[in-house]
Amino acid sequence: MSESPLDLVIVGAGFSGLAMAIRARQAGFDRFLVLEKAAGIGGTWRENTYPGAACDVPSQLYSLSFAPKSDWTRLFAPQPEIKTYLEGLVAEHGLAPFLRLKTRVVRAVFDATAGLWRVETDGGTISARVLVGAMGALHHPALPRLPGLERFSGTAFHSAAWDHSCDLRGKRVGVIGTGASAVQFVPEIVGRAAHLTQFQRSAPWILPRGDRPTGHGLRRLMRVTPLRRLYRASLFWRREVAALLGFTRVSTVTALAEAGARRHLAASIADPALRRKLTPDYRLGCKRVLLSDEYYPALARPNVSLVTAPIREVLPHGLVTADGAEHPLDVLIFATGFSPGGSVLRTEVIGRGGVSLLQAWKDGADAFRGVSVAGFPNFFLLLGPNTGLGHNSVLLMVEAQVAHVLDALQRLRDHPGGMLEVRPEAQARFRGEVDARMRDSIWMRGGCGSWYLDRSGRNRTLWPGPVGDYVRGTERIRAEDYNLFDPQRPANTMQRPAEASDAD
C-alpha cells in the first residue's frame, strides 16, 4: 500500500468507479487508486450472471459516451458482453496499475488537520486528498424474512448470486419476486424445470422489449461517429420524452402506456383468470416498468403456476402460503432485488468532527446533487441518493457526477491542502428541488409502495426530472454551492471556489 498521500481514492470498480478512473487519467491525474473488494472488476455485471441477464436500456445508450462500442451484438447486450466491455476499458485505458482488487474498504476517516482521508482497508491504510465512493446502489441482495427459511432442505439462492452448480433439470423450482431480474431469467429456466411456481406479491407492468441481434449494417453505421451519436440521441430522447410525459405526473401518456401494456398481456395470456392476476393494481411507472417479450408466454406454459397468496412460511420441502396451500419445491430462487442505500451505508465513512455518514443520514440519505454531503469535505458519491433513473441509462447520471468530481479535483490541484465542502444550504436547496419535483410524480401518486421509497414514504432513490436538467446542473461545481478552505490562505477560509480561482 502507498505510504505518501494520493490525490484520489476511488472505492469500487463497477461502471462508476471505472468511469471516474478513466476521466481522472485523461485529465492528467496519475496518483490515484481504485479499491475493489472483489477479485475482479465489473460490479453489477460481474455479479449478476443469472440466465438471461442483460441490460434493459439499449447498449448504445447503456455504455459510456467517451468509450463507445460500435459492435454490440444485440440491442440489449447480455451480461457477459457488458462485463467484457468493462474489462476492455481497463485494458484500453491502462487502468490495471491503478486497480487494487481484493481490497475492501472498511472505514474512511477524514483527518481535518492533515486535510486527508485515511482509508482503512483489510490490507492497510491509504491516505488520499479526495475520496470517491462508487460502491454501487444495487449491490447487497435483499432477502425477505420468511419464517422457517433456515429449515429449507433444497437449494436456495438469490438471483445476484446464481448457483450455476444447481442443475434445474427436472426440479420443482420456486421463484420469489417479479422484478427486473425474474422477468429475464424465468423464461430461460422454465423449459428446464419440471415445474416452476412464480410467487408474486404485485404484478409488474411489462412492455414489449423488441430485443434483436445487431445486424452487420447497423454495426457498420455505428462506426461512423456522427451516426452513432445521432442514434444514441434518438434512444435517449425517446425515453426522456416518454418519462417526462408519463412519470413526472400521472397523465394521458400514462393511460396510453397502460393500454399498450394491457394489449401486450392479452396477446400472450389467453386465460382470463391468469390475465387478471397479471394485471397491476397501480399506475404504470409507479414501480420500475419492465421490458419482456418472453415472460408472459413463460407463465402461460402448462408447467407453471402463478401464486399470488402471500407466503406464510418455509417448510423443509417447500412453501406454505397464507391460504394454507403447500407448494413442494426442490429449489428456491430469490428475485427480491437489493437493499436500498447500497454499500456506502455498510462502510463507515467519518467526516469532520467525527460525524459518520450514518449519523448525518439518520433521517434518510441526502446529498447535494446526490454527490456531496455537508460535513464531508473532499468526499464525493457516484450514484448517490436521488440519482437513480427508472427509465433511462444511469450512466448519463454517472458521467455528469464524474465531471463534477473532476472539476473538484482540478480546483483542488490549484489549492494544495485545500478542502472543498458543499454548503448545507445548497444541500437543503437540492433536497427541496427534489421533493417539489417528486410531489405530483407517478412514484408518489401512482398508488403503489416500492423500494424507491424509504420508511417515511420519501423517494430517496430516483431523480424526478429531466436527465438533461440534472446533467446541466451537475457537470460543473458552482461557486454558490461549495466552500473552499485553503490552509495557505487562512484569511480566505470559506471563500467560494470561483472567487478562489479568480484570485489566482
Q: What residues line the site for ligand FAD (CB under 6 A)?
A: 11-17, 35-38, 43-44, 48, 53, 55-57, 62, 104-105, 134-136, 138-139, 181, 343, 347, 382-383, 393-394
Q: Which is nearer to ligand FAD, 360 or 484 (CB)?
A: 360
Q: State the minimum distance, in angstroms, from the CB of residue 393 to ligand FAD.
A: 4
Q: Which is nearer to ligand FAD, 69 or 139 (CB)?
A: 139
Q: State the minimum distance, in angstroms, from the CB of residue 252 to ligand FAD.
A: 27
CA distances from 140 to 57, 136, 215, 318, 344 (A): 22, 9, 36, 25, 11
Q: State the minimum distance, in angstroms, from the CB of residue 275 to ligand FAD.
A: 27
Q: Which is nearer to ligand FAD, 35 or 448 (CB)?
A: 35
Q: Which helix or strand (DSSP H or E) is residue 117 part of?
A: strand 116-121
* One-letter amino acid of 366: D
CA dist., res. 76 & res. 93, Å (int): 24
Who contacts 342 (Cβ-Cβ below 8 Å, separation ≥6)? Answer: 135, 136, 137, 138, 139, 140, 383
Under DSSP, the state recorded for 255 is H
- What are the grid coordinates assigned to 446, written together? 401512482
Q: Which is nearer to ligand FAD, 102 or 151 (CB)?
A: 102
Q: Which phi-psi region, left, alpha or beta, contains residue 100 (left: φ > 0; alpha: ψ -120 to 50)?
A: beta
Q: Which is nearer to ligand FAD, 197 or 347 (CB)?
A: 347
Q: Which is nearer to ligand FAD, 17 or 340 (CB)?
A: 17
Between the two ends of the chain, the Cα-to-Cα distance in Å is 35
Does residue 499 sit in helix, strand or coil? helix
Q: Which is nearer to ligand FAD, 53 or 426 (CB)?
A: 53
Closest alpha carbon to 492 in 415, 426, 427, 406: 415
Strand partners, 172: 195
- What are the grid coordinates assigned to 121, written together? 482497508
Q: State the minimum distance, in angstroms, from the CB of residue 102 to ligand FAD.
A: 9
The answer to whether residues 431 and 369 touch, using CB atoms and an 8 Å cutoff, is no
Q: Which is nearer to ligand FAD, 159 or 254 (CB)?
A: 159
Q: Which is nearer to ligand FAD, 102 or 220 (CB)?
A: 102
Under DSSP, the state recorded for 102 is S
Under DSSP, the state recorded for 491 is G
Q: State the minimum distance, in angstroms, from the CB of residue 204 to ligand FAD.
A: 15
Q: State the minimum distance, in angstroms, from the CB of residue 389 to ligand FAD.
A: 6
Q: Which ranges in 269-415 belong to alpha helices (H)? A: 272-277, 295-299, 357-360, 394-413
Q: State the minimum distance, in angstroms, from the CB of residue 220 to ligand FAD.
A: 25
Q: State the minimum distance, in angstroms, from the CB of residue 350 to ligand FAD.
A: 14
Closest alpha carbon to 80 in 97, 103, 55, 61: 55
Q: State the minimum distance, in angstroms, from the CB of residue 169 to ligand FAD.
A: 24
